Structures are given as structure tokens and as C-alpha cells.
């Protein structure tokens, strides 16, 4: 008997899908690893770019498909309507629908549960795939996407792939390049993110700390909880924007614990931050070349992107690359005299830490009361 993954991949192949673009999701991480091996795969940094790439593929006479998480649909709506729909281009979108089945992250509930209504309001046809048997619906509807030149969203419940994605994937094997803005310094990753946070924890004390979502926030809570920590539970790509906003609206010293995957999703914020150049903002960019919270899938910093050079190119004047203990402490400790970007080269890997036992509104309250006592 075919597994759900085998069945879906067979359906995609039977419909001659040429290219598949995706962003990671923990609930379908095993499926996405299979897809990377069996199709021409395009790794995305933001969902909206996948809509444009798919439009180009379609106009070039090939068949595209996308795999995304429900939380990313909000990043795609305008492009889907003004590009894909407007030009009548075919695009099947396979959506890992969070917030509806054994969901452990409260921030996934709003988008996941309201997604059918959002799609209906946008006029985007969709099918709900709740069990492996429902893959018959994909088999039936997918050919019409290309015959009729239309969009169609397939909402994939985690129940379809339950039991397959419960084990961790191997950490990425591609080396971090270790380029440097100052080519006389070429640090090499020595510590995991958890170990880095433990190294710099004293320098976080009594400061506003905005921490990237998922495992990084859990690790920070375990290592150095304080009321001034803003633990992100959703909204990937928003850590640096949130920290920038706080730094511009207050005199508090702000440290953002961001990640390579998150920064690649919304890099333009670095240009805005560089424009204002706040002297009370430090961005501690942990670069382990992986999407740590979704199964250690590789990011593009492992193959072609140097975040230090990216920040420099966006106009950030004070950029430091660090990996060793003294480098990390000195980088986070020393006054910046303007915006500081610390490119912290890390080894991939997550610590086994529990969920944060705080209500999200209590997290906000702690930060607000720290900023406005």
C-alpha cells in the first residue's frame, strides 16, 4: 500500500509537474525532502516570490506547483490575484494547513482556521484534504488547473501525513562559507544557537530582547528568561522589524535575536534600519544555514549568501562577523555608536527545551511594562 507521500508524489509526476517551489513546514518536512530529490526544486525565502517564479515558469511552457504553510498565504494574496489570476496562469498550491489538527502553536490557529474563508473571499478555488483517501480529490482536480489555466489551493491537513514527519531530519551537510567583511577575519562556526545564547546571556540582562520564533524563543526562555524578552510565536520574518520599531519609539537598548531564514524572508528591513541607524539597536543574526524550527532544512546562506555582506550592502555601517566566545561577547557588549549587525556563525542543531509556559498576552505585557514602567 502506498504511503500518502508516495501517492501525492505519484500524482504530481502523472500530471508532469516540472518545477516545485517551497518554504519549510515541520508537518510536511519528510514530504518536502522527497520533493527536493525527485523534482526540480526551487527554495524560497518568501512565499510571494514563489508566485512570481511560478508565473514565469508557466509562461515558459512548463508546469509549476508550490508547497507552503497556511501562515504564508497572507504574503501571497495580492500576487495571486494581480498576477496569477489576472493573467490566467495555472498554479496548484499545496498548503500545509496548521491550526486545525493537534496544533501545539497557538499563533498558528488564526490563519489556519480562517484560511478557507480567506480563500473563498479571494475567489480562489480550494479543496480540503483531511485524510490519505482524500488524495483522490487532488488526482481529480489537478489536471483541470492546467486545462483551465486557473489557481487551485489544496489544503493538506497534518493528519494526512501523521506519523511520517515525527522524526528529525539530518542536519545540513553544506559548510557555512565564513566570508567576512574584513577578509583578515574568517571565523568558523563553533557553537550551536543554544550555546551562543548561553555565552551572551549576561549582556542581554535588563535589555529589550526580541527573539525569533519557534525553537530560538524556547531556548532563550530556558537560558535567560526576563520580562523584557519578547518571544515570537508566529509571524516569521518580523523579528528585526519589531526590534527596529521599539528602538525608534523608545530609548531602551534593543537586541534582536534573528536567524538566517527569517532575515532572508524580509531582508529589506535592513535597509530601513540602516536609514535610521538607531544607536540603541543591535541585530544578533544567528546563521546556522538551516531552518532550525522546521526540521533543519538548508537555507541559502549555506550555498551563496553572506549575511554580513548583505547587511553591508543595505547600508549598515557597523557589521561584525563572529563565531568564537570572545568574539561573540565583545560584539554584543561593545557600544555601537549606531546600528550594529552581528553575523554570528553557528553550527546547526536545536536544544531539547520545553514550550514557553506563558500566555502570549503576558509576554507582551512584560515587555510593555518594562518599556513604559
Domain identity same for 156 and 277:
no
Domain identity same for 104 and 221:
no
Distance (Å, whole) CA 268 – CA 264: 9
Q: pLDDT, tens digit, for every residue of 235-277?
A: 788 899 889 989 988 999 999 999 999 899 889 889 989 998 9
Query: Is the pLDDT at 62 greater than 60, yes or no?
Result: yes
Distance (Å, whole) CA 1 – CA 30: 18
The answer as to whether 186 is a domain residue is: no
Domain identity same for 66 and 149:
yes
Domain identity same for 302 and 351:
yes
Query: Is the pLDDT at 182 greater than 50, yes or no?
Result: no
Look at residues 161, 181, 216 and tell me which one is the last residue of a structural domain.
161
Distance (Å, whole) CA 75 – CA 49: 9
The answer as to whether 349 is a domain residue is: yes
Look at residues 137, 161, 185 and tell me which one is the last residue of a structural domain.
161
**What is the per-residue pLDDT for 186?**
59
Residue pair 184/310 in contact (Cβ under 8 Å)? The answer is: no
Domain identity same for 208 and 75:
no
> Confidence class of residue 143 from pLDDT cuts 50, 70 and 90?
very high
Domain identity same for 340 and 219:
yes
Distance (Å, whole) CA 196 – CA 200: 6
> Confidence class of residue 187 from pLDDT cuts 50, 70 and 90?
confident
Query: Domain span at residue 282?
Result: 193-371
Rounded to two decimals, the pTM is 0.74
> Confidence class of residue 173 from pLDDT cuts 50, 70 and 90?
very low
The answer as to whether 180 is a domain residue is: no
Q: pLDDT, tens digit, for every residue of 87-133?
A: 898 999 999 999 999 988 888 999 999 999 999 999 999 999 999 99
The answer as to whether 166 is a domain residue is: no
**What is the per-residue pLDDT for 185?**
53
Count of domains observed in the chain: 2
Report, as an integer, the average pLDDT of 353-357: 94
What is the DSSP track for 116-135? HHHHHHHT--EEEE-SGGGH
Give strand pairing partners of 91: 151
- Residue 216 sits in a domain of what CATH number? 3.40.50.970
- In terms of DSSP bridges, do strands 91-96 and 151-156 run parallel, antiparallel, or are they unpaired? parallel
The answer as to whether 170 is a domain residue is: no
Domain identity same for 224 and 140:
no
**What is the per-residue pLDDT for 282?**
97
Report, as an integer, the average pLDDT of 338-350: 95
Best CA proximity match to 148, nearest among 190, 108, 91, 187: 91
**What is the per-residue pLDDT for 171?**
46
The answer as to whether 184 is a domain residue is: no
Best CA proximity match to 39, nearest among 8, 17, 56, 72: 17
**What is the per-residue pLDDT for 56?**
85
> Confidence class of residue 175 from pLDDT cuts 50, 70 and 90?
very low
Residue pair 293/214 in contact (Cβ under 8 Å)? The answer is: yes
**What is the per-residue pLDDT for 343?**
97
Instruction: Enumerate residues 6+ apart whose C-beta is below 8 A from 144.
Output: 150, 152
For the chain, what percent of residues have pLDDT higher than 90? 67
Domain identity same for 156 and 16:
yes
Domain identity same for 270 and 141:
no
What is the DSSP track for 131-174? SGGGHHHHHHHHHHHHHTT-EEEEEE-GGGGTTTS-SPPPPP-S
Look at residues 116, 143, 161 and tell me which one is the last residue of a structural domain.
161
Best CA proximity match to 93, nearest among 164, 44, 60: 44
Domain identity same for 241 and 321:
yes
Q: Which helix (H) or strand (E) holds 342?
A: strand 340-345
Query: Is the pLDDT at 148 greater than 90, yes or no?
Result: yes
Query: Is the pLDDT at 178 greater than 50, yes or no?
Result: no
Domain identity same for 204 and 57:
no
As a 3-state breakdown, the chain gives helix, strand, coil percent values, each rounded to 5, of 45, 20, 35
Query: Is the pLDDT at 5 greater than 90, yes or no?
Result: yes
Residue whose entry in the numeric block shows the C-alpha cell 483551465: 148
Domain identity same for 124 and 24:
yes
Between 335 and 51, the more confident residue is 51
Amino acid at each position: 500500500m502506498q504511503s500518502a507521500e508516495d501517492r501525492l508524489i505519484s500524482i504530481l509526476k502523472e500530471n508532469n509537474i516540472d518545477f516545485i517551489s517551497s518554504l519549510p513546514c515541520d508537518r510536511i518536512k519528510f514530504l518536502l525532502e522527497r520533493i527536493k530529490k525527485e523534482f526540480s526544486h526551487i527554495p524560497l525565502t518568501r512565499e510571494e516570490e514563489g508566485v512570481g517564479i511560478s508565473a514565469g515558469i508557466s509562461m515558459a511552457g512548463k508546469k509549476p506547483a508550490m508547497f507552503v504553510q497556511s501562515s504564508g498565504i497572507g504574503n501571497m494574496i495580492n500576487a495571486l490575484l494581480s498576477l496569477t489570476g489576472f493573467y490566467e496562469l495555472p498554479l496548484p498550491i499545496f498548503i500545509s494547513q496548521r491550526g486545525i489538527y493537534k496544533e501545539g502553536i497557538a499563533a498558528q490557529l488564526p490563519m489556519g482556521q480562517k484560511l478557507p474563508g480567506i480563500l473563498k473571499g479571494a475567489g480562489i478555488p480550494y479543496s480540503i484534504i483531511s485524510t490519505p483517501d482524500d488524495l483522490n480529490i487532488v488526482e481529480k482536480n489537478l489536471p483541470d488547473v492546467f486545462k483551465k489555466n486557473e489557481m487551485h489551493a489544496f489544503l493538506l491537513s497534518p493528519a494526512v501525513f501523521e506519523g511520517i514527519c515525527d522524526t528529525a531530519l539530518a542536519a545540513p551537510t553544506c559548510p557555512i562559507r565564513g566570508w567576512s567583511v574584513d577578509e583578515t577575519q574568517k571565523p568558523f562556526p563553533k557553537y550551536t544557537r543554544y550555546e551562543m545564547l548561553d555565552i551572551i546571556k549576561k549582556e542581554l540582562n535588563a535589555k529589550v530582547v526580541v527573539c525569533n520564533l519557534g525553537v530560538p524563543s524556547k531556548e532563550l526562555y530556558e537560558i535567560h528568561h526576563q520580562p523584557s524578552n519578547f518571544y515570537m510565536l508566529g509571524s516569521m520574518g518580523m523579528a528585526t522589524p519589531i526590534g527596529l520599531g521599539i528602538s525608534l519609539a523608545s530609548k531602551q537598548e534593543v537586541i534582536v535575536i534573528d536567524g538566517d531564514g527569517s532575515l532572508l524572508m524580509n531582508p529589506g528591513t535592513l535597509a530601513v534600519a540602516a536609514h535610521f541607524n538607531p544607536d540603541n539597536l543591535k541585530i544578533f543574526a544567528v546563521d546556522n544555514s538551516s531552518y532550525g524550527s522546521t526540521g533543519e532544512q538548508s537555507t541559502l546562506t549555506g550555498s551563496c549568501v553572506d549575511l554580513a555582506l548583505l547587511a553591508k550592502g543595505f547600508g549598515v555601517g557597523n557589521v561584525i562577523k563572529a563565531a568564537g566566545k570572545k568574539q561573540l561577547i565583545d560584539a554584543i557588549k561593545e557600544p555601537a555608536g549606531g546600528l550594529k549587525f552581528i553575523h554570528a556563525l553557528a553550527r546547526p542543531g536545536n536544544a531539547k527545551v520545553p514550550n514557553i509556559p506563558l500566555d502570549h498576552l503576558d509576554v507582551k505585557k512584560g515587555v510593555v511594562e518594562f518599556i513604559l514602567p
